[in-house]
């Protein structure tokens, strides 16, 4: 501050000196040419005129310098003497994010369609309101021209929202592997070329291993064995890929591998495509002996054991899932894998979502697509989900992930978890979170300034007070955990946090009426298999 005063004083001094000097010069000039201007008043007027002109020039220079300092200065100017600047936002600060046709996040916070394409994270433990305040309201409120793919482990979403979708004129379908009338899904039939077949083989093996580890608590194959097994699986998936349905399945490839000896396998591949032969050669380089080959076959049989289950063989024997139809006609696709089957099913479910997303990225415009994925961490690992999230906003696709904790996501995706989190531009947190998630939310919220008054007592009468600025978290992790029931903390993009009431569907007359037109799952999809 003192420095500023000195600079102002100094520049004023220079200007006065310059003005006097120039006006003197001008005056002598006019006197020399016998001008009419003369005398004392003329001198003073001339001096002030020139002083004002200089003042204007100096202001213009100062203004342009400040302009160049730009945004950073502007941001700091609002709080440069504060130790922290975070606070809660008002609804009006989100005008450019909110709308009437995107994801309904809370009572006062509904995203616009455009902002919904920048994706959403909903973090809440069981019973905190994810289904009642987000998944059900979304299915009831997303516009009639939108398609939705939704995970529905309990079938509750189908029961409460399928009838409304039908009334809107939408197509309602379900992938419900454990019900008799499910649609069938053959991942191999959805591959469009050899490299997609190879990717599929890798996803199947990676998730197969993880599933075995999760279900048995023991380490499966190990990555070295899995790496050796991959080309063999790819070779035979390419082999059956050329066959007609129902032979073109993962189960058929696995059966061929496990039921034939090495010599027969070599002979079979000789009639197949060059890509298949190439993969077989890669395999043979690492597994010349029958003994190694048989160990590798065991690894495959273990990792892909779900494909030996007759029910899985049946639902993967044919493909009725056509991603294009989601673009062509507004559709609700309910994906119903019960929670206790999710580990077992993850080798199939991760290619399911990954193929849908990848196909839809390339189908161009049509209906916007909303993926509403509750219990995202149970789906298995979707390869490249971080990249998919980054590119699909320009393809009218919105992905919402429901998770129970941030750690759950990190355990599944390791380093990619951070990129995933960065690409979900709107994040919301519900009451009762685990410490890691509450801490994550608290850090995103930042710090606010508090005034600390301290008093010191002296023996004489005059006690002295001093006020100092300190910072504290806007909400500490435990305050995030202790959010009142039915509230929601929303943190979107580059804005301050926003606190609101959840929009529970059963407390909203209109939504409750829509949800009450219940269809029973059994009626539509048949009994359990
Ligand atoms: N129709 C309803 N009427 C009254 N309470 C409900 C209703 N549906 C859900 N709830 C309550 O709302 C809370 C949140 O449920 P839910 O949204 O299913 O949790 P989450 O999906 O996060 O596990 C639960 O405590 C549940 O008892
Ligand atoms: Mg739920």
Q: Are residues 396 and 435 in the same domain?
A: yes
Tokens encoding 309: 């289950």
Q: Are residues 346 and 224 in the same domain?
A: no
Q: List Cβ neighbours of 250 (8 Å cut-off, separation of 6 or more).
A: 187, 188, 204, 237, 304, 307, 316
Measured N-to-C along each axis, helices 250-259 and 262-270 cross at an angle, to the nearest 10 degrees, of 130
Q: Are residues 68 and 210 in the same domain?
A: no
Q: Are residues 298 and 396 in the same domain?
A: no
In this structure, the residue with its CA closest to atom 9 of ligand 1 is: 132
Tens-place pLDDT, residues 135-146:
999 999 999 999
Looking up residue 474, the CATH number of its domain turns out to be 3.40.50.300
- Confirm or reject: Cβ of 412 under 6 Å from ligand 1: no
Residue 453 or 81, more confident: 453
Q: Is residue 264 part of a domain?
A: yes
Ligand 1 centroid, distance to 112 Cα (angstroms): 26
**Number of neighbouring beta carbons within 10 Å of residue 81:** 8
Average pLDDT for residues 312-330, to the nearest whole number?
95
Q: Which pLDDT value is given to residue 83?
A: 85
Q: Is residue 163 part of a domain?
A: yes
Average pLDDT for residues 175-187, to the nearest whole number?
92
Ligand 1 centroid, distance to 373 Cα (angstroms): 18
Q: Which of 282, 297, 315 is the last residue in one of the domains?
A: 315
Whole domain around residue 38: which residue ranges? 2-77
Q: Is residue 364 part of a domain?
A: yes
- Give the model's confidence band at 473: pLDDT under 50 very low, under 70 low, under 90 confident, else very high: very high
Q: Are residues 424 and 505 in the same domain?
A: yes
Give 137's DSSP letter. H
Tokens encoding 381: 């690992």
Tokens encoding 11: 């520049």
Tokens encoding 430: 């519900």
Give the number of whichever ligand sits closest to the CA of residue 502.
1
Buried b (16+ CB within 10 A) or exposed e, 172-202: bbbbbbbbeebbbbbbbbbbeebebbbbbbb
**Number of neighbouring beta carbons within 10 Å of residue 415:** 8
Q: Which of 266-275, 462-471, 486-495 has the lowest mean pLDDT?
A: 462-471
**Closest ligand 1 atom to the C-alpha of 512?**
1
Residue 295 phi, psi dihedral angles, 5° rounding: -65, -40
Share of the chain above pLDDT 70, in %: 92
Q: Which pLDDT value is given to residue 432?
A: 97
Tens-place pLDDT, residues 329-342:
999 999 999 999 99
- Confirm or reject: Cβ of 137 under 6 Å from ligand 1: no
Q: Is residue 496 part of a domain?
A: yes
Give the number of whichever ligand sits closest to the CA of residue 160.
1
- Confirm or reject: Cβ of 131 under 6 Å from ligand 1: yes
Cβ atoms 84, 471 nearer than 8 A: yes
Q: Which of 19, 51, 77 is the last residue in one of the domains?
A: 77
Q: Is residue 204 part of a domain?
A: yes
**Closest ligand 1 atom to the C-alpha of 156?**
18
- Confirm or reject: Cβ of 21 under 6 Å from ligand 1: no
Q: Are residues 373 and 484 in the same domain?
A: yes
Q: Which pLDDT value is given to residue 294?
A: 85
Q: Are residues 240 and 155 in the same domain?
A: no
Residue 421, CB half-sphere, CA atoms under 13 Å: how many?
A: 21
Q: Are residues 195 and 256 in the same domain?
A: yes
Cβ atoms 191, 204 nearer than 8 A: no
Q: Are residues 309 and 325 in the same domain?
A: no
Query: How far from chain centre, in Å, is Cα 9?
Result: 54
Q: Is residue 84 part of a domain?
A: no
Q: How many domains does the chain have?
A: 3
Q: Are residues 18 and 121 in the same domain?
A: no
Q: Which of 27, 50, 77 is the last residue in one of the domains?
A: 77
Tens-place pLDDT, residues 336-392:
999 999 989 999 999 999 999 999 998 777 999 999 999 999 888 898 899 999 998
- Confirm or reject: Cβ of 126 under 6 Å from ligand 1: yes
- Give the model's confidence band at 245: pLDDT under 50 very low, under 70 low, under 90 confident, else very high: confident
* Ligand 2 ion local residues (Cβ < 5 A): 130-131
In this structure, the residue with its CA closest to atom 1 of ligand 1 is: 506
Q: Are residues 333 and 310 in the same domain?
A: no
- Judged against a pLDDT cut of 70, whether residue 79 lies above it is answered with no
Q: Are residues 153 and 202 in the same domain?
A: no
Q: Is residue 19 part of a domain?
A: yes
Tokens encoding 100: 């009437």
Q: Which pLDDT value is given to residue 76?
A: 54
CA–CA gap between residue 244 and residue 235 (Å, rounded): 17
- Confirm or reject: Cβ of 128 under 6 Å from ligand 1: yes
- Confirm or reject: Cβ of 127 under 6 Å from ligand 1: yes
Mind giving me the DSSP string for 153-182? Answer: TTSHHHHHHHHHHHHTT-EEEEE-TTBTTP
Burial of 517 (0-12, 13-18, 19+ CB in 10 A): middle
- Judged against a pLDDT cut of 80, whether residue 529 lies above it is answered with no
Q: Which pLDDT value is given to residue 234?
A: 96
CA–CA gap between residue 356 and residue 276 (Å, rounded): 25
Q: Is residue 85 part of a domain?
A: no
């Amino acid at each position: 501050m003192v420095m500023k005063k000195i600079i102002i004083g100094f520049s004023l001094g220079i200007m006065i000196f310059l003005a006097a000097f120039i006006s003197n010069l001008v005056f002598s000039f006019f006197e020399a040419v016998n001008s009419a201007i003369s005398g004392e008043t003329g001198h003073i007027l001339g001096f002030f005129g020139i002083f004002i002109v200089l003042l204007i020039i100096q202001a213009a220079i100062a203004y342009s310098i400040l302009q160049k300092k730009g945004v950073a200065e502007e941001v700091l100017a609002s709080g440069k003497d504060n130790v922290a600047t975070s606070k809660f936002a008002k609804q009006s600060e989100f005008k450019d994010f909110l709308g009437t046709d995107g994801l309904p996040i809370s009572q006062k916070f509904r995203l616009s369609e455009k902002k919904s394409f920048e994706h959403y994270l909903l973090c809440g433990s069981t019973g905190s309101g994810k289904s009642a305040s987000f998944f059900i309201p979304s299915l009831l409120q997303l516009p009639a021209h939108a398609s939705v793919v939704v995970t529905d482990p309990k079938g509750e979403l189908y029961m409460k929202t399928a009838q409304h979708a039908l009334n809107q004129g939408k197509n309602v379908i379900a992938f419900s592997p454990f019900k008799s009338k499910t649609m069938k899904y053959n991942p191999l039939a959805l591959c469009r070329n050899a490299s997609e077949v190879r990717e599929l083989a890798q996803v199947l093996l990676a998730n197969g291993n993880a599933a075995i580890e999760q279900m048995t608590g023991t380490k499966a194959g190990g990555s070295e064995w899995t790496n050796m097994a991959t080309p063999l699986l790819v070779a035979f998936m390419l082999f059956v890929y050329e066959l007609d349905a129902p032979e073109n399945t993962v189960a058929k490839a696995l059966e061929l591998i496990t039921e034939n000896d090495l010599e027969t396998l070599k002979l079979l591949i000789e009639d197949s495509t060059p890509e298949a032969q190439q993969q077989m050669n890669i395999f043979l380089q690492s597994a010349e002996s029958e003994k190694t080959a048989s160990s590798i076959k065991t690894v495959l049989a273990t990792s892909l054991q779900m494909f030996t289950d007759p029910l899985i063989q049946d639902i993967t024997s044919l493909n009725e899932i056509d991603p294009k139809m989601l673009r062509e006609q507004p559709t609700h696709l309910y994906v119903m894998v019960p929670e206790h089957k999710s580990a077992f099913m993850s080798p199939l479910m991760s290619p399911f979502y990954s193929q849908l997303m990848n196909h839809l990225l390339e189908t161009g415009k049509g209906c916007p697509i909303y993926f509403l994925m509750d219990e995202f961490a149970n789906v298995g690992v979707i390869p490249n989900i971080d990249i998919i999230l980054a590119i699909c906003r320009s393809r009218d696709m919105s992905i919402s992930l429901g998770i129970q904790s941030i750690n759950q996501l990190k355990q599944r995706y390791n380093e990619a978890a951070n990129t995933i989190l960065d690409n979900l531009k709107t994040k919301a947190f519900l009451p009762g979170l685990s410490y890691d998630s509450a801490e994550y939310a608290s850090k995103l919220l930042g710090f606010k300034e508090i005034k600390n008054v301290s008093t010191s007592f002296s023996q004489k009468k005059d006690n002295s007070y001093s006020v100092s600025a300190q910072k504290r978290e806007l909400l500490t992790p435990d305050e995030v955990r202790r959010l009142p029931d039915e509230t929601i903390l929303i943190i979107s993009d580059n804005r301050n946090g926003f606190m609101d009431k959840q929009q529970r569907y059963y407390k909203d007359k209109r939504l409750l009426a829509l949800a009450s037109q219940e269809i029973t799952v059994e009626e539509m999809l048949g009994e359990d298999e």
